[in-house]
Amino acid sequence: MRALMRTENIFIEPSACASFAAFLHPDEMEGYVRKKGLCDCLGQATHIAWATGGSMVPQDMVEEYLNTWIQA
């Protein structure tokens, strides 16, 4: 969420960030790809992260989300 805001100036609500989870653990994604036999077609793949917007989140909440650090 913070990286998207910082690099693209796009705010998405925290729950919408789930679509980016696979990119946080590329080793797990690689294992999944191998397990499902998708290695040969990955070069032609298009990755889409579907994220609903945050335009209805009040600005004070946006600031709170962006300034809260949650350690996983």
* Domain layout of the chain by residue ranges: 1-14+58-72
Please list the helix, strand and coil fractions of the chain in percent, rounded to the nearest 5, in that order. Answer: 60, 0, 40
Name the one residue in this structure whose structure tokens are 């994220």: 51
Q: What confidence score (pLDDT) does residue 71 get?
A: 56
Task: Work out the widest C-alpha separation in the chain, in whole angstroms.
Answer: 47
Q: What confidence score (pLDDT) does residue 50 get?
A: 79
Q: What confidence score (pLDDT) does residue 70 get?
A: 63
CB atoms within 10 A of CB 5: 15
**Tens-binned pLDDT, residue by residue, of the chain (72 aa):** 888 889 999 899 888 888 787 777 888 888 888 999 998 988 888 878 778 778 889 999 999 988 887 655
Q: What confidence score (pLDDT) does residue 7 get?
A: 92
HSE-up (13 A, CA, CB side) for residue 36:
9
